[in-house]
Structure 1
Amino acid sequence: MKKKITEKLRQIERDFGVKVLYACESGSRAWGVPSRNSDFDVRFIYVHQPEWYLSIDMKRDVIVLPIDEWLDINGWELRKTLQLFRKSNPPLMEWLHSSMVYEYDETFVKEIKEMAHTAFSPISCIQHYLHMAKGNYRDYLKQEKVRVKKYFYVLRPLLACQYIEQYRQFPPIEFPFLVEQLLPQGELKEKIEQLLIRKHAGEKLDVEARISLLNAFIEERIHHYENSVKKINSEPVDITNKIDSFFQKTVKKHAIDI
Protein backbone atom coordinates (compact mmCIF):
# COMPACT_ATOMS: atom_id res chain seq x y z
CA MET A 1 0.00 0.00 0.00
CA LYS A 2 2.88 2.36 0.72
CA LYS A 3 4.13 1.82 -2.84
CA LYS A 4 0.67 2.65 -4.20
CA ILE A 5 0.57 5.83 -2.10
CA THR A 6 4.00 6.90 -3.34
CA GLU A 7 2.92 6.29 -6.94
CA LYS A 8 -0.20 8.41 -6.36
CA LEU A 9 1.89 11.26 -4.99
CA ARG A 10 4.17 11.17 -8.06
CA GLN A 11 1.11 11.20 -10.31
CA ILE A 12 -0.27 14.22 -8.44
CA GLU A 13 3.01 16.07 -8.94
CA ARG A 14 2.89 15.39 -12.69
CA ASP A 15 -0.81 16.10 -13.17
CA PHE A 16 -0.94 19.33 -11.15
CA GLY A 17 2.60 20.66 -11.62
CA VAL A 18 3.34 20.73 -7.89
CA LYS A 19 5.94 19.45 -5.44
CA VAL A 20 4.79 17.35 -2.46
CA LEU A 21 6.64 18.56 0.63
CA TYR A 22 5.07 16.27 3.20
CA ALA A 23 2.62 13.34 3.19
CA CYS A 24 1.34 11.35 6.15
CA GLU A 25 -1.45 9.17 7.50
CA SER A 26 -4.16 11.09 9.35
CA GLY A 27 -7.06 8.76 10.15
CA SER A 28 -7.72 5.81 12.43
CA ARG A 29 -4.41 4.20 11.50
CA ALA A 30 -2.49 7.26 12.72
CA TRP A 31 -4.65 7.39 15.84
CA GLY A 32 -3.77 3.80 16.71
CA VAL A 33 -7.35 2.52 16.44
CA PRO A 34 -7.54 0.85 13.00
CA SER A 35 -9.73 -2.08 12.17
CA ARG A 36 -8.85 -4.76 9.64
CA ASN A 37 -10.73 -2.96 6.87
CA SER A 38 -9.73 0.61 7.70
CA ASP A 39 -8.86 2.65 4.63
CA PHE A 40 -5.76 4.85 4.33
CA ASP A 41 -6.36 8.56 4.98
CA VAL A 42 -3.39 10.27 3.33
CA ARG A 43 -2.90 14.03 3.73
CA PHE A 44 -0.17 16.07 2.07
CA ILE A 45 1.24 19.58 1.75
CA TYR A 46 2.38 20.82 -1.65
CA VAL A 47 3.92 23.88 -3.32
CA HIS A 48 3.39 25.36 -6.79
CA GLN A 49 5.84 27.06 -9.10
CA PRO A 50 6.39 30.79 -8.28
CA GLU A 51 4.25 31.92 -11.23
CA TRP A 52 1.18 30.34 -9.62
CA TYR A 53 1.51 32.74 -6.68
CA LEU A 54 1.80 35.84 -8.92
CA SER A 55 -1.65 35.63 -10.50
CA ILE A 56 -4.18 38.39 -9.78
CA ASP A 57 -6.88 35.72 -9.38
CA MET A 58 -7.32 33.41 -6.41
CA LYS A 59 -6.97 29.77 -7.37
CA ARG A 60 -8.03 26.45 -5.91
CA ASP A 61 -5.74 25.69 -2.98
CA VAL A 62 -6.59 22.04 -2.35
CA ILE A 63 -6.13 18.82 -4.29
CA VAL A 64 -8.74 16.14 -3.65
CA LEU A 65 -8.69 12.80 -5.42
CA PRO A 66 -11.75 10.54 -5.72
CA ILE A 67 -11.94 8.08 -2.84
CA ASP A 68 -11.47 4.44 -3.78
CA GLU A 69 -11.98 1.30 -1.71
CA TRP A 70 -8.76 1.69 0.28
CA LEU A 71 -7.41 5.18 -0.29
CA ASP A 72 -8.64 8.65 0.69
CA ILE A 73 -6.01 11.21 -0.36
CA ASN A 74 -6.05 15.00 -0.45
CA GLY A 75 -3.72 17.89 0.22
CA TRP A 76 -3.37 21.57 1.02
CA GLU A 77 -1.35 24.13 -0.90
CA LEU A 78 1.55 25.70 1.02
CA ARG A 79 0.11 29.21 1.50
CA LYS A 80 -3.21 27.80 2.75
CA THR A 81 -1.25 25.48 5.02
CA LEU A 82 0.75 28.29 6.58
CA GLN A 83 -2.30 30.51 7.05
CA LEU A 84 -3.90 27.70 9.05
CA PHE A 85 -0.61 26.95 10.79
CA ARG A 86 -0.50 30.54 12.10
CA LYS A 87 -3.90 29.86 13.73
CA SER A 88 -2.65 26.65 15.37
CA ASN A 89 -5.06 24.60 13.26
CA PRO A 90 -5.40 21.24 15.09
CA PRO A 91 -5.93 18.98 12.04
CA LEU A 92 -2.75 20.39 10.49
CA MET A 93 -0.88 20.03 13.78
CA GLU A 94 -2.00 16.40 13.84
CA TRP A 95 -0.53 15.85 10.38
CA LEU A 96 2.80 17.16 11.63
CA HIS A 97 2.65 14.80 14.64
CA SER A 98 1.73 11.69 12.66
CA SER A 99 4.04 8.73 13.19
CA MET A 100 3.11 7.34 9.74
CA VAL A 101 4.97 9.57 7.28
CA TYR A 102 5.03 8.57 3.62
CA GLU A 103 7.16 11.39 2.23
CA TYR A 104 8.86 14.55 3.47
CA ASP A 105 11.29 17.28 2.56
CA GLU A 106 13.76 17.26 5.44
CA THR A 107 14.39 21.02 5.59
CA PHE A 108 10.70 21.88 5.29
CA VAL A 109 9.66 19.50 8.06
CA LYS A 110 12.48 20.54 10.40
CA GLU A 111 11.69 24.25 10.11
CA ILE A 112 7.91 24.03 10.32
CA LYS A 113 8.13 21.77 13.38
CA GLU A 114 10.46 24.26 15.04
CA MET A 115 7.90 27.02 14.47
CA ALA A 116 5.04 24.82 15.67
CA HIS A 117 6.05 25.28 19.30
CA THR A 118 5.51 29.03 18.96
CA ALA A 119 2.38 28.79 16.81
CA PHE A 120 0.68 26.34 19.20
CA SER A 121 -2.34 27.86 20.98
CA PRO A 122 -3.70 25.85 23.94
CA ILE A 123 -7.02 27.72 23.87
CA SER A 124 -7.79 27.23 20.18
CA CYS A 125 -6.80 23.55 20.32
CA ILE A 126 -8.86 22.78 23.41
CA GLN A 127 -11.82 24.61 21.87
CA HIS A 128 -11.45 22.54 18.70
CA TYR A 129 -11.26 19.21 20.51
CA LEU A 130 -14.05 20.13 22.92
CA HIS A 131 -16.31 21.08 20.00
CA MET A 132 -15.50 17.77 18.33
CA ALA A 133 -16.22 15.77 21.49
CA LYS A 134 -19.51 17.57 22.19
CA GLY A 135 -20.75 17.16 18.62
CA ASN A 136 -19.94 13.46 18.40
CA TYR A 137 -21.37 12.79 21.85
CA ARG A 138 -24.60 14.58 21.04
CA ASP A 139 -25.00 12.89 17.66
CA TYR A 140 -24.00 9.32 18.50
CA LEU A 141 -23.83 8.39 22.17
CA LYS A 142 -26.82 9.76 24.08
CA GLN A 143 -29.36 7.13 23.05
CA GLU A 144 -29.97 3.82 24.83
CA LYS A 145 -28.45 1.99 21.85
CA VAL A 146 -25.28 3.48 20.36
CA ARG A 147 -22.60 2.73 17.78
CA VAL A 148 -19.89 1.70 20.19
CA LYS A 149 -16.98 2.68 17.93
CA LYS A 150 -18.10 6.30 18.24
CA TYR A 151 -16.74 6.31 21.80
CA PHE A 152 -13.27 6.68 20.26
CA TYR A 153 -14.43 9.82 18.44
CA VAL A 154 -15.38 11.42 21.77
CA LEU A 155 -12.77 10.02 24.13
CA ARG A 156 -9.78 10.85 21.92
CA PRO A 157 -10.53 14.60 21.72
CA LEU A 158 -11.32 14.74 25.44
CA LEU A 159 -8.01 13.10 26.31
CA ALA A 160 -6.33 15.54 23.91
CA CYS A 161 -7.86 18.36 25.98
CA GLN A 162 -6.54 16.76 29.14
CA TYR A 163 -3.03 16.45 27.70
CA ILE A 164 -3.01 20.11 26.64
CA GLU A 165 -4.33 21.22 30.02
CA GLN A 166 -1.74 19.14 31.86
CA TYR A 167 1.37 19.70 29.72
CA ARG A 168 0.61 22.88 27.69
CA GLN A 169 1.82 21.06 24.60
CA PHE A 170 0.12 19.71 21.50
CA PRO A 171 -0.96 16.15 22.33
CA PRO A 172 0.30 12.95 20.74
CA ILE A 173 -2.35 11.73 18.31
CA GLU A 174 -2.16 8.03 19.22
CA PHE A 175 -5.22 7.22 21.32
CA PRO A 176 -3.71 4.18 23.13
CA PHE A 177 -0.79 6.36 24.27
CA LEU A 178 -3.16 8.99 25.68
CA VAL A 179 -5.10 6.30 27.55
CA GLU A 180 -1.92 4.85 29.03
CA GLN A 181 -0.40 8.23 29.85
CA LEU A 182 -3.40 10.05 31.31
CA LEU A 183 -5.82 7.57 32.88
CA PRO A 184 -5.17 5.90 36.24
CA GLN A 185 -5.62 2.17 36.65
CA GLY A 186 -9.22 1.32 37.33
CA GLU A 187 -12.53 0.31 35.81
CA LEU A 188 -12.68 3.23 33.36
CA LYS A 189 -9.28 2.51 31.87
CA GLU A 190 -10.02 -1.21 31.70
CA LYS A 191 -13.29 -0.59 29.86
CA ILE A 192 -11.55 1.58 27.26
CA GLU A 193 -8.73 -0.93 26.83
CA GLN A 194 -11.32 -3.66 26.24
CA LEU A 195 -12.82 -1.60 23.42
CA LEU A 196 -9.36 -1.13 21.91
CA ILE A 197 -8.72 -4.88 22.00
CA ARG A 198 -12.02 -5.53 20.25
CA LYS A 199 -11.30 -2.85 17.64
CA HIS A 200 -7.84 -4.20 16.87
CA ALA A 201 -9.28 -7.71 16.61
CA GLY A 202 -11.48 -6.54 13.76
CA GLU A 203 -14.85 -6.37 15.49
CA LYS A 204 -17.27 -3.90 13.88
CA LEU A 205 -18.24 -2.39 17.26
CA ASP A 206 -21.65 -1.59 15.89
CA VAL A 207 -24.92 -0.92 17.73
CA GLU A 208 -24.93 -2.01 21.38
CA ALA A 209 -26.23 -0.71 24.71
CA ARG A 210 -24.49 2.48 25.71
CA ILE A 211 -21.75 2.16 28.32
CA SER A 212 -22.89 4.17 31.34
CA LEU A 213 -19.41 4.39 32.85
CA LEU A 214 -18.01 6.02 29.71
CA ASN A 215 -21.00 8.33 29.30
CA ALA A 216 -20.61 9.58 32.87
CA PHE A 217 -16.90 10.24 32.31
CA ILE A 218 -17.59 12.03 29.03
CA GLU A 219 -20.25 14.30 30.53
CA GLU A 220 -18.03 15.20 33.47
CA ARG A 221 -15.08 16.00 31.20
CA ILE A 222 -17.17 18.11 28.80
CA HIS A 223 -18.50 20.13 31.73
CA HIS A 224 -14.98 20.53 33.10
CA TYR A 225 -13.47 21.84 29.86
CA GLU A 226 -16.40 24.14 29.14
CA ASN A 227 -15.39 25.94 32.31
CA SER A 228 -11.63 25.49 32.45
CA VAL A 229 -10.90 26.70 28.91
CA LYS A 230 -12.02 30.19 29.97
CA LYS A 231 -9.28 30.28 32.60
CA ILE A 232 -6.35 29.41 30.36
CA ASN A 233 -3.92 32.30 30.05
CA SER A 234 -2.47 32.05 26.55
CA GLU A 235 -1.33 35.21 24.79
CA PRO A 236 -1.00 34.64 21.03
CA VAL A 237 2.44 35.17 19.53
CA ASP A 238 2.52 36.87 16.13
CA ILE A 239 4.97 34.95 13.94
CA THR A 240 3.67 36.27 10.62
CA ASN A 241 7.02 37.69 9.53
CA LYS A 242 8.80 34.43 10.29
CA ILE A 243 6.16 32.42 8.42
CA ASP A 244 6.33 34.80 5.44
CA SER A 245 10.10 34.32 5.21
CA PHE A 246 9.68 30.56 5.47
CA PHE A 247 7.01 30.60 2.75
CA GLN A 248 9.13 32.66 0.35
CA LYS A 249 12.23 30.53 0.92
CA THR A 250 10.29 27.30 0.36
CA VAL A 251 8.72 28.50 -2.91
CA LYS A 252 12.10 29.62 -4.23
CA LYS A 253 13.85 26.42 -3.20
CA HIS A 254 11.45 24.15 -5.08
CA ALA A 255 10.99 26.36 -8.15
CA ILE A 256 13.30 24.24 -10.29
CA ASP A 257 12.46 20.87 -8.70
CA ILE A 258 9.00 20.42 -10.20
Structure 2
Amino acid sequence: MQQVNGDSIGPDVRAEIERRLAAIEAQEDVRFLLAIESGSRAWGFPSPDSDYDIRFIHVHRRDWYLSLMPGRDVIERPIVDEIDLNGWDIRKALNLLFKSNAVVSEWMESPIHYRPVHPVMARVSALADRLLVPRAMAWHYAKLATNAAKDWLDSDAPVPVKKYFYALRPALCIRHMRLHGGRPPMNLQQLVATTELTPSLTGMIEDLVAAKAVPEKRAMARACPLWMR
Protein backbone atom coordinates (compact mmCIF):
# COMPACT_ATOMS: atom_id res chain seq x y z
CA MET A 1 0.00 0.00 0.00
CA GLN A 2 1.44 3.36 -1.02
CA GLN A 3 2.54 5.75 1.69
CA VAL A 4 0.36 8.84 1.29
CA ASN A 5 1.26 11.17 4.09
CA GLY A 6 5.04 11.33 4.45
CA ASP A 7 5.65 14.90 5.55
CA SER A 8 2.51 16.51 4.15
CA ILE A 9 3.00 19.81 5.98
CA GLY A 10 3.38 22.78 3.65
CA PRO A 11 6.34 25.12 4.25
CA ASP A 12 4.22 28.10 5.29
CA VAL A 13 2.19 26.07 7.77
CA ARG A 14 5.32 24.40 9.11
CA ALA A 15 6.95 27.80 9.65
CA GLU A 16 3.89 29.02 11.58
CA ILE A 17 3.80 25.87 13.71
CA GLU A 18 7.50 26.21 14.51
CA ARG A 19 6.96 29.87 15.41
CA ARG A 20 4.19 28.92 17.86
CA LEU A 21 6.29 26.15 19.36
CA ALA A 22 9.14 28.60 19.94
CA ALA A 23 6.68 30.98 21.62
CA ILE A 24 5.50 28.21 23.95
CA GLU A 25 9.09 27.39 24.92
CA ALA A 26 9.73 31.03 25.80
CA GLN A 27 6.41 31.65 27.58
CA GLU A 28 6.43 28.42 29.61
CA ASP A 29 10.22 28.17 30.14
CA VAL A 30 10.38 24.58 28.86
CA ARG A 31 12.35 22.57 26.32
CA PHE A 32 10.81 20.13 23.88
CA LEU A 33 11.98 16.54 23.82
CA LEU A 34 9.52 15.67 21.07
CA ALA A 35 7.17 17.73 18.88
CA ILE A 36 5.15 15.80 16.32
CA GLU A 37 1.94 15.57 14.29
CA SER A 38 -0.66 13.28 15.84
CA GLY A 39 -3.80 13.33 13.75
CA SER A 40 -5.05 12.16 10.39
CA ARG A 41 -2.01 13.66 8.67
CA ALA A 42 0.29 11.39 10.68
CA TRP A 43 -2.17 8.47 10.69
CA GLY A 44 -2.01 8.34 6.89
CA PHE A 45 -5.51 9.41 5.83
CA PRO A 46 -5.57 13.22 5.69
CA SER A 47 -8.00 15.51 3.98
CA PRO A 48 -6.75 18.78 2.48
CA ASP A 49 -8.64 20.61 5.23
CA SER A 50 -7.60 18.37 8.13
CA ASP A 51 -6.53 20.13 11.30
CA TYR A 52 -2.90 20.17 12.37
CA ASP A 53 -2.75 18.23 15.64
CA ILE A 54 0.62 19.09 17.16
CA ARG A 55 1.59 17.17 20.29
CA PHE A 56 4.76 17.50 22.32
CA ILE A 57 6.60 16.18 25.35
CA HIS A 58 8.45 18.87 27.27
CA VAL A 59 10.76 19.23 30.25
CA HIS A 60 10.82 22.03 32.83
CA ARG A 61 13.80 23.37 34.72
CA ARG A 62 14.97 21.32 37.71
CA ASP A 63 13.39 23.58 40.34
CA TRP A 64 9.94 22.98 38.85
CA TYR A 65 10.22 19.31 39.83
CA LEU A 66 11.55 20.12 43.31
CA SER A 67 8.72 22.51 44.17
CA LEU A 68 6.28 21.49 46.90
CA MET A 69 3.50 22.84 44.70
CA PRO A 70 4.35 21.85 41.12
CA GLY A 71 2.53 23.52 38.28
CA ARG A 72 0.34 21.96 35.61
CA ASP A 73 1.88 19.10 33.70
CA VAL A 74 -0.11 19.93 30.55
CA ILE A 75 0.39 22.84 28.15
CA GLU A 76 -2.52 23.75 25.87
CA ARG A 77 -3.22 26.49 23.40
CA PRO A 78 -6.54 27.45 21.75
CA ILE A 79 -7.04 26.17 18.21
CA VAL A 80 -6.30 29.00 15.78
CA ASP A 81 -6.33 28.57 11.99
CA GLU A 82 -6.77 24.79 12.40
CA ILE A 83 -3.54 24.50 14.40
CA ASP A 84 -4.03 22.63 17.68
CA LEU A 85 -1.09 22.54 20.13
CA ASN A 86 -1.11 20.37 23.24
CA GLY A 87 1.70 18.77 25.23
CA TRP A 88 2.61 16.83 28.36
CA ASP A 89 5.47 17.17 30.79
CA ILE A 90 7.95 14.29 30.66
CA ARG A 91 6.94 13.14 34.16
CA LYS A 92 3.31 12.82 33.09
CA ALA A 93 4.37 10.98 29.94
CA LEU A 94 6.51 8.53 31.92
CA ASN A 95 3.74 7.88 34.44
CA LEU A 96 1.41 7.04 31.56
CA LEU A 97 3.99 4.76 29.96
CA PHE A 98 3.96 2.68 33.15
CA LYS A 99 0.31 1.99 32.27
CA SER A 100 1.12 1.07 28.64
CA ASN A 101 -0.57 4.25 27.46
CA ALA A 102 -1.14 4.05 23.71
CA VAL A 103 -1.22 7.82 23.17
CA VAL A 104 2.35 8.38 24.34
CA SER A 105 3.44 5.30 22.41
CA GLU A 106 1.94 6.70 19.21
CA TRP A 107 3.53 10.11 19.69
CA MET A 108 6.92 8.41 19.65
CA GLU A 109 6.01 6.63 16.40
CA SER A 110 4.82 9.69 14.45
CA PRO A 111 6.37 10.07 10.99
CA ILE A 112 6.00 13.88 11.07
CA HIS A 113 8.30 15.90 13.35
CA TYR A 114 8.42 19.64 13.99
CA ARG A 115 11.58 19.56 16.09
CA PRO A 116 14.58 17.22 16.19
CA VAL A 117 13.89 14.36 18.58
CA HIS A 118 15.96 14.67 21.76
CA PRO A 119 18.30 11.67 22.23
CA VAL A 120 16.66 10.82 25.56
CA MET A 121 13.51 9.78 23.69
CA ALA A 122 15.32 6.69 22.39
CA ARG A 123 15.64 5.58 26.02
CA VAL A 124 11.99 6.43 26.67
CA SER A 125 10.97 4.34 23.66
CA ALA A 126 13.06 1.41 24.89
CA LEU A 127 11.43 1.78 28.31
CA ALA A 128 8.00 1.71 26.68
CA ASP A 129 8.91 -1.58 25.00
CA ARG A 130 10.04 -3.11 28.30
CA LEU A 131 6.99 -1.92 30.22
CA LEU A 132 4.44 -2.90 27.58
CA VAL A 133 1.43 -4.83 28.83
CA PRO A 134 -0.17 -5.89 25.53
CA ARG A 135 -3.59 -6.53 27.04
CA ALA A 136 -3.80 -3.01 28.47
CA MET A 137 -2.84 -1.37 25.19
CA ALA A 138 -5.11 -3.66 23.17
CA TRP A 139 -8.01 -2.77 25.48
CA HIS A 140 -7.48 0.91 24.66
CA TYR A 141 -7.64 0.21 20.93
CA ALA A 142 -10.65 -2.09 21.32
CA LYS A 143 -12.57 0.69 23.07
CA LEU A 144 -11.65 3.17 20.34
CA ALA A 145 -12.79 0.80 17.60
CA THR A 146 -16.00 -0.18 19.38
CA ASN A 147 -17.00 3.41 20.15
CA ALA A 148 -16.28 4.49 16.57
CA ALA A 149 -18.22 1.61 14.98
CA LYS A 150 -21.21 1.21 17.27
CA ASP A 151 -23.41 3.73 15.43
CA TRP A 152 -22.93 2.26 11.94
CA LEU A 153 -21.78 -1.35 12.28
CA ASP A 154 -25.27 -2.81 11.89
CA SER A 155 -26.54 -0.26 9.38
CA ASP A 156 -26.66 -0.34 5.58
CA ALA A 157 -26.61 3.46 5.38
CA PRO A 158 -23.59 5.30 3.95
CA VAL A 159 -20.91 5.98 6.54
CA PRO A 160 -18.61 9.01 6.85
CA VAL A 161 -15.22 7.82 5.65
CA LYS A 162 -13.44 9.20 8.69
CA LYS A 163 -15.62 7.01 10.94
CA TYR A 164 -14.43 3.94 9.07
CA PHE A 165 -10.86 4.97 9.80
CA TYR A 166 -11.54 5.68 13.47
CA ALA A 167 -12.61 2.04 13.82
CA LEU A 168 -10.27 0.49 11.25
CA ARG A 169 -6.96 1.87 12.48
CA PRO A 170 -7.42 0.69 16.10
CA ALA A 171 -8.54 -2.72 14.83
CA LEU A 172 -5.37 -2.99 12.76
CA CYS A 173 -3.31 -1.96 15.80
CA ILE A 174 -4.76 -4.91 17.70
CA ARG A 175 -4.10 -7.22 14.77
CA HIS A 176 -0.50 -5.99 14.58
CA MET A 177 -0.04 -6.74 18.29
CA ARG A 178 -1.49 -10.22 17.88
CA LEU A 179 0.83 -10.99 14.98
CA HIS A 180 4.01 -9.31 16.23
CA GLY A 181 3.61 -8.79 19.97
CA GLY A 182 5.09 -5.29 20.21
CA ARG A 183 3.81 -1.74 20.15
CA PRO A 184 2.03 -1.00 16.87
CA PRO A 185 2.94 1.79 14.45
CA MET A 186 0.52 4.72 14.34
CA ASN A 187 0.47 5.04 10.55
CA LEU A 188 -2.23 3.25 8.55
CA GLN A 189 0.01 2.30 5.64
CA GLN A 190 2.53 0.69 7.99
CA LEU A 191 -0.26 -1.18 9.74
CA VAL A 192 -1.61 -2.50 6.44
CA ALA A 193 1.89 -3.62 5.45
CA THR A 194 2.40 -5.57 8.69
CA THR A 195 -1.00 -7.19 9.28
CA GLU A 196 -1.23 -9.69 6.41
CA LEU A 197 -4.49 -8.43 4.91
CA THR A 198 -6.03 -9.91 1.78
CA PRO A 199 -5.51 -7.99 -1.48
CA SER A 200 -9.24 -7.24 -1.67
CA LEU A 201 -9.29 -5.72 1.80
CA THR A 202 -6.13 -3.74 1.11
CA GLY A 203 -7.72 -2.39 -2.07
CA MET A 204 -10.82 -1.29 -0.17
CA ILE A 205 -8.67 0.55 2.36
CA GLU A 206 -6.81 2.31 -0.47
CA ASP A 207 -10.17 3.40 -1.91
CA LEU A 208 -11.17 4.83 1.46
CA VAL A 209 -7.88 6.74 1.73
CA ALA A 210 -8.50 8.20 -1.73
CA ALA A 211 -12.06 9.19 -0.76
CA LYS A 212 -10.82 10.87 2.42
CA ALA A 213 -8.27 12.87 0.39
CA VAL A 214 -10.95 14.90 -1.40
CA PRO A 215 -11.45 18.41 0.03
CA GLU A 216 -14.63 17.54 1.90
CA LYS A 217 -14.74 16.43 5.51
CA ARG A 218 -18.04 14.57 5.11
CA ALA A 219 -16.96 12.18 2.36
CA MET A 220 -19.19 9.10 2.58
CA ALA A 221 -18.67 5.42 1.81
CA ARG A 222 -21.05 2.51 1.39
CA ALA A 223 -21.29 0.02 4.23
CA CYS A 224 -19.08 -2.95 3.37
CA PRO A 225 -19.76 -6.48 4.64
CA LEU A 226 -16.02 -7.20 4.87
CA TRP A 227 -15.64 -4.70 7.71
CA MET A 228 -18.12 -6.66 9.80
CA ARG A 229 -16.08 -9.86 9.85
Name the TM-score, length of structure 1 as normaliser: 0.77
Structure 2 counterpart of 1:94, from 106, 119, 127: 106
Match of 1:22 in 2: 34
Match of 2:200 in 1: 187
Structure 2 counterpart of 1:130, from 115, 125, 142: 142
C-alpha separation in 1, matches of 2:88 and 2:47: 27
Return the offset for 1:185: 3.2
Structure 2 counterpart of 1:152, from 158, 165, 172: 165
Distance 1:181 1:105, change over 3 A: closer
Return the offset for 1:202: 3.7
CA contact (8 A) 1:198 1:205 kept: no
Q: Deviations over 1:114-133 (max 9, x none)?
A: 22221222111111101111
Return the offset for 1:203: 4.9
Return the offset for 1:181: 3.0
Q: Does 1:42 align with 2:49?
A: no
Task: Give the residue type in structure 2 aligned to 1:20.
Answer: F
Match of 1:254 in 2: none
After TM superposition, the structure 1 stretch with the greater mean CA deviation from structure 2, 94-103 or 57-66, is 57-66
Match of 1:84 in 2: 96
Q: Deviations over 1:45-71 (max 9, x none)?
A: 111112212222243110110011221
C-alpha separation in 2, matches of 1:167 and 1:50: 39
Distance 1:205 1:189, change over 3 A: farther
Secondary structure of the residue aligned to 1:149 is helix
Q: Does 1:176 align with 2:189?
A: yes
Return the offset for 1:157: 0.4
Return the offset for 1:5: 1.4
After TM superposition, the structure 1 stretch with the greater mean CA deviation from structure 2, 111-120 or 94-103, is 111-120
C-alpha separation in 1, matches of 2:217 and 2:84: 20
Q: Does 1:13 align with 2:51?
A: no
Q: Deviations over 1:118-159 (max 9, x none)?
A: 122211111110111111111454433232321000010001
CA contact (8 A) 2:34 2:118 kept: no
Distance 1:208 1:175, change over 3 A: closer
Task: Point out where structure 2 has 5 or more consecutive residues left out of the alignment.
Answer: 1-12
**CA RMSD, aligned part only?**
1.8
Distance 1:184 1:85, change over 3 A: closer
Match of 2:74 in 1: 62
Percent identical among aligned pairs is 37
Distance 1:175 1:35, change over 3 A: same
C-alpha separation in 2, matches of 1:48 and 1:9: 15
C-alpha separation in 1, matches of 2:152 and 2:116: 37
Match of 2:65 in 1: 53
- Matched length: 216
